[in-house]
Amino acid sequence: MFGSKKNYDEIDVEFFEPQAGRPFATTKSPIDQLPDTFEIRTTLHIGDDEWRIVSADPPSKGDFRKTGRLKLVLVKVRTEWIAPRDVLYGLPTISNDIAGLEPASSLENALVVHEDDWRQSEVISSRFTSLMEGEFRAIRLIYEHERAGVGFKNLHIRSAIPEPLAGVELTLDLLRSEFSSAHEYDGVAFDHAAGLIQHGFAFRNPTGLIVWGQTDAQGHPLVVCLKNVNACTLGVSFDAIDAWLDTCHLVWVDWIGALKVSRFDGLATTV
């Protein structure tokens, strides 16, 4: 019928090594034998070798079900010994807490993030400004004294603000309204495990900004994180969101940059 959309039960899968122009192997795989998303770290065995999938096009089952094709880029897994003194951290700071996970029946419409992204770009109550300043000072010391090439010899583990939204009256419906939700995810997954954050939520607004985090058992937000901020705010007015943050006495914080962001139009101020 005209306008109908076909879903494929078998997927043509091509296997590539990085920068290779041609696949080194191809196969047809039943859709049910493929994962919901390749954004979760995935390895597979080909012959006697273990391979790690570094990229997939498209990454989601919902997409390659429609196209019938999947391109995987893989590298062989090699175990190498590295002296502890040579190990570097990729980030100057992380939060000392992490959301718990629960089993998921499907990850097909889950937002997948790196576990180190937890609370790196978040909204906090302005009542915690002095604690925020103390965390910023500790992070700057890491930049000044612990940087080594592209990494850091040490990192600051943040613990001063365990409940960033304590005392703030906030609901998911209000968040969806203020940020203009255009797509709702079924939950949030970390890329190292096939599970969902307990009471996790995520949605994307029309500009590509993603709001995600965790609620309590009653659905009240405990942590509100932001993703794709720099990419989506160029040329976009967020005056209404800025006014809402001011009214609710909230602050958007970029911990990696040690920045308090004063407005969503991209202006940031160090504290």
User: Which pLDDT does position 79 carry in this prediction?
Assistant: 74
Residue 82 has pLDDT above 80, yes or no: no
Residue 232 has pLDDT above 80, yes or no: no
- 181 touches 205 (CB < 8 A): yes
Residue 270 has pLDDT above 50, yes or no: no
176, two tokens: 């969806």
Would you list the domain boundaries of the chain?
Answer: 11-76, 93-139+161-270
Find tokens 């770290």 and name the residue.
41
> Per residue in 22-62, pLDDT tens?
999 999 999 999 999 999 988 888 878 899 999 999 999 99
DSSP string, the chain: -TT-----SEEEEEEE-TT-SS-SEEEEEEGGGS-SBSSS--EEEETTEEEEEEEEES-BHHHHHHHSEEEEEEEE-------GGG--BSSSEEES----EEE-S--TTEEEE-GGGTTTEEEEEGGGHHHHHHHHHHHHHHHHHSEETTEESS-EEE-S-S-TTTT----HHHHHHHHT--EE-SEEEETTSSEEETTEEEEE-TTS-EEEEEE-TTS-EEEEEEESHHHHHTT---HHHHHHHHHTTEEEEETTTTEEE--TTS-EEE-
Residue 179 has pLDDT above 50, yes or no: yes
Q: What gap in Å lies between CA 60 and CA 55, rounded to an integer?
A: 11
> Per residue in 92-127, pLDDT tens?
999 999 999 999 888 999 999 999 999 999 999 999
Pair type for strands 268-270 and 69-76: unpaired
Q: What is the pTM of this model?
A: 0.82
Pair type for strands 10-16 and 268-270: unpaired
User: Which pLDDT does position 3 carry in this prediction?
Assistant: 46
Indicate the average pLDDT of the chain: 88
